[in-house]
A and B are shown apart, each in its own frame.
Chain A
């Protein structure tokens, strides 16, 4: 009797197997790696990295078939959605993760760290990101967020014999949990207002309640603040430099690119789907976050002597640029769509150029054993190719045409100018001034590599490995190609959310 009742109450939801195929493949590969580790133990070490890399590429195959299919898929009563936006973001996550695997291959092996667990955790974290791109209700967003964060806490502390790595792991964990708590509180308030965890329903409820209701305002502020931690926007950025410096450099690259992008995905979805009607609350908030991130990030970056910390602050400043289009996304008439495309474009280009910069840092640090800017001096004399590559990445980050970064910045400026209101122009001007400040430290580092003398006159060539070389090649070609023919990236990032009627 009881069994009958249960079967009556539980109706298996319709599952669109094609729609969740990428997640299934990724899950399969993750399980396979764990299994291989259990069965073959140490003998499996040499192949895990390759397995993880191939797995990530295999996951991209169902993405392609889904893209070719082209229909928006809504699953689990709207909690999980496959649309243009989610497909593009998943592709960005998978490709960045693939490059991170390439970067990690030698780093993890040579450091004599545990490898199988490392790649297993990496894949788990990527799984969280891939889910985040499709999550459209509060619960699945939160689950995805924790799934991507918890493995990352462990990976940050992977250099377990290094005190700084431990400190970084703990710091990242505490800050991350704190941010999650703040965000959860905001989410609970939203649930209280709307009585639903679905973003669509919340959107309707928020619109009905009107933004004057203090509870809604509080919820929005808490949620935006929580994700501001994740994307390291000022004033919630303080964890980033220490964590970046302490973590193994490939993990830093992963955090700086993929994890940040995941934070943006959630922020975009929440803001544009759940509270589009409350734009008078989040627009000023985002404006301040953007202006502060750009300015503070750049100012502090000027004083850095460690390349990884420099990249951390530059990443904070870049966050300011990425978030800026959202400050004018609530003006109706396609402004949300435009802001969305601009942020996605920025994320895609940023992934290529930032991963590339970290790749060079990893390669050079293999020789110099240090990430101080002084140890990068004179690299042009013994590693001209690497120096040219780093120059490309740095000036791309600075936004100099014809390198990819210019188009990313251009899109941001375009959205800000298109809003046609004074605040948009002011933020664009702040961005313009900031891109000059940023150029100072990017150019100074490039100049140091080109023009200065190598410390101790050490001109021995840099040890290079195939996986690092291919990581550099991928990032370099993508950065250049996106800059010369922005159509390449723009065609894919001209996306809409299914919920926005795209």
Chain B
């Protein structure tokens, strides 16, 4: 069937939630069931549009933007309503569209205090518009607007429905993110002015920079501004301190959306904007990004070991996992960035699941103090097993999604892109590998303390502690299935992302190629590259054929 959504499918998907919001605004808040129904139907409708977008997505040309719309938006500042989907954004958009309805189902009968489903669901739908919009935007101003739209609903979700310390956490979240994005905006504008391209579209700016409009020094500064904006959102060490507070205080659903999608806005910004537009600066910044990434991996893991609160522990594990993603990005290789996008998807699924579980545990035990928990497997065996499964997935067990995020990211650090110091990244690789050991340590320890053993006395005969409920099953099953599916067949994601990543790195590779010739490092690169390729064979074992293919292409373009 021909593609019926071309030209308007993205707009439909992005703004449909707002239609739901408009309808809900008109209904008095006492009619809670109607609100729940409208929100669910709206989010399912968006997911349905998402499925159609996937069906008509041309998988043979993932490097091309599809469903493109490019219309004048704010003429005076040459900003355009330019949207499109390519292989890099598609998985993240689908993840968003999946997570939102699941969150609505999950909260069906247990809205946190002060209940008010109307306001809560409206905020979730506004969030959905912001998140999808950020992933489809192809214009810096449009991107910035959507990037910020996400802030407000999340702020209120934490501030109104959050835990005891919500006032502090919500403001901290807001201020950190806004600080980054304010400087990011200034660097966007500097980029706009310095290129003289008279356009804010990503491709237009990338071309203008490639044509040599911007001095190297200015590029470094501009990249620095973007780095702050995206890095705080990721969050990278040392900007991560808002995350544990926000996660711990947010209501369950807020935590899930925060972990599953919001954190990805930062990493997505790096691969979509910062690196393709400013490849030269990216090469110079790469070692520093890599350094902060591995510091984040180790620091996050050590932080986890020290936590006494289950939700806070999962939050710190996010810092570590996003460290792997950033490490993959910092290598500036096709392989590394593919791994990073896989890491984003896997982290979204797994950590989202873990936060769901933490929410359910909290609801049953009314505490998340790890020392007071125990015996989940006895009291709620199914939930206990799901918890164990997610912990395994999170620590990167092969065969589950987490593995394909971490392992290739580490591997790619062995052989970073041209112009990026090889020795440094190999050191990072070793440190990151140690991080996976720590990850296994804190997750298994958490599992052992919370799920194993006999239930503590205070909860032994508590009738509230039931096994997984129907709503929980409905909202968790798709995530669990996907964790397994992607784990067994990672090509589900890699096939989509690969072409787009390759295309986005093309300017990077060519610029680096010239730089390398000047420095006469081409030989070193070639040798290093061949090594990496060989190792890839040894370590990968089976199932990584695709990535090997990829290395070949990479070698071809690199040489």
Give me the interface of A with B, judged by CB distance under 8 Å. Answer: 341, 380-381, 384, 391, 395, 398, 400-402, 406-407, 410-411, 413-414, 416-418, 420, 425, 428-429, 432-433, 435-436, 439-440, 443-444, 447, 450-451, 485-487, 490-491, 494
Contact = CB atoms under 8 A, between A and B. Distances in A.
Interface stretch (B172-180, B204-212, B501-509, B512-520): B172-180
A451 B119 CA distance: 12
A384 B182 contact: no
Interface in B282-312: none
27 contacts: A380-B160, A381-B114, A384-B119, A395-B152, A400-B148, A400-B151, A400-B152, A401-B149, A402-B149, A413-B186, A417-B186, A417-B193, A418-B189, A428-B189, A432-B183, A435-B182, A436-B182, A439-B178, A443-B175, A447-B167, A450-B160, A451-B159, A451-B160, A485-B73, A486-B76, A486-B77, A487-B75
A443 B76 contact: no
Contacts of B171: 440, 443-444, 447
Contacts of B193: 414, 417-418, 420
Contacts of A443: 155, 170-171, 174-175
A402 B75 CA distance: 17
Given A400-B152, A432-B183, A451-B167, 15 more contacts: A384-B29, A384-B119, A395-B152, A400-B148, A401-B144, A402-B148, A402-B149, A410-B77, A410-B141, A413-B189, A417-B190, A417-B193, A432-B179, A443-B155, A443-B171
A445 B108 CA distance: 30
Contacts of B185: 410, 413, 432
A401 B185 CA distance: 12
State the majority secondary structure of interface residues on A.
helix
Contacts of A440: 171, 175
B74 A486 contact: yes
B237 interface: no
B520 to A, nearest CB: 35
Size class of the B contact interface (CB-based, 8 Å): 35 or more
A384 to B, nearest CB: 7
A410 B79 CA distance: 12
A487 B73 contact: yes
Contacts of B175: 436, 439-440, 443
A417 B148 contact: no
Contacts of B179: 432-433, 436
B183 A451 contact: no
B156 interface: yes
A436 B148 CA distance: 13
A433 B225 CA distance: 12
Contacts of B146: 401
Contacts of B511: none
Pairs of residues from A and B, 9 with the lowest C-beta to C-beta distance, nearest first = A432-B182, A401-B145, A417-B189, A490-B76, A401-B148, A436-B179, A447-B159, A486-B74, A451-B159
Contacts of A341: 76
B166 interface: yes
A451 B144 CA distance: 28
Given A429-B186, A439-B178, A417 B192 contact: yes
Given A401-B148, A447-B159, A487 B119 contact: no
Contacts, number: 104
A494 B167 contact: no
Interface in B124-169: 141, 144-146, 148-149, 151-152, 155-156, 159-160, 166-167
Contacts of A410: 77, 141, 185, 189
Give the interface SS of chain B, mostly helix, strand, loop or mixed. helix
Contacts of B370: none
A308 to B, nearest CB: 22
A494 B76 contact: yes
B76 A435 contact: no
Most chain A beta-carbon contacts within 10 A, residue among B76, B166, B171, B190: B76
B517 to A, nearest CB: 32
B38 interface: no
B475 to A, nearest CB: 26
A97 to B, nearest CB: 27
Contacts of B155: 443, 447
A263 B189 CA distance: 29
A428 B182 CA distance: 10
Contacts of A447: 155, 159, 167, 170-171
Contacts of A433: 179, 182
B194 interface: yes
Interface string B104-135: 00000000001000010000000000000000
Nearest to B122: A388
A413 B192 CA distance: 12
Contacts of B194: 420
Contacts of B166: 451
A387 to B, nearest CB: 10
A238 to B, nearest CB: 28
A260 B149 CA distance: 30
Contacts of A418: 189, 193
A425 B179 CA distance: 16
Contacts of A414: 77, 189, 192-193
B149 A436 contact: no
B75 A490 contact: yes
Contacts of B156: 391, 450
A417 B145 CA distance: 19
Nearest to B72: A487
A254 B108 CA distance: 47
Nearest to A493: B76
A381 B119 CA distance: 11
Nearest to A447: B159
Contact of A428 (B74, B76, B151, B186): B186
B145 to A, nearest CB: 4
A439 B174 contact: yes
Contacts of A425: 186, 190
Contacts of B141: 410
Nearest to B29: A384
A451 B251 CA distance: 14
Contacts of B77: 410-411, 414, 486, 490
A398 B182 CA distance: 11
Contacts of A416: 189
The CB with the most chain B CB atoms within 10 A, among A402, A435, A440, is that of: A402
A341 B76 CA distance: 10
A341 B29 CA distance: 43
Contact of A487 (B76, B114, B159, B192): B76
B220 to A, nearest CB: 14
Interface in B75-123: 75-77, 114, 119
B160 to A, nearest CB: 5
Nearest to A415: B189
Residue among B148, B149, B152 with the most chain A CB within 10 A? B152
Given A400-B152, A451-B166, A490 B74 contact: yes
A380 B160 CA distance: 10
B486 to A, nearest CB: 34
B182 A402 contact: no
A65 B375 CA distance: 79
A406 B119 contact: no
B178 A435 contact: yes
Nearest to B179: A436
Q: Indicate the member of A380, A486, A494 with the most B CB atoms within 10 Å.
A: A486
Contacts of B76: 341, 486-487, 490-491, 494
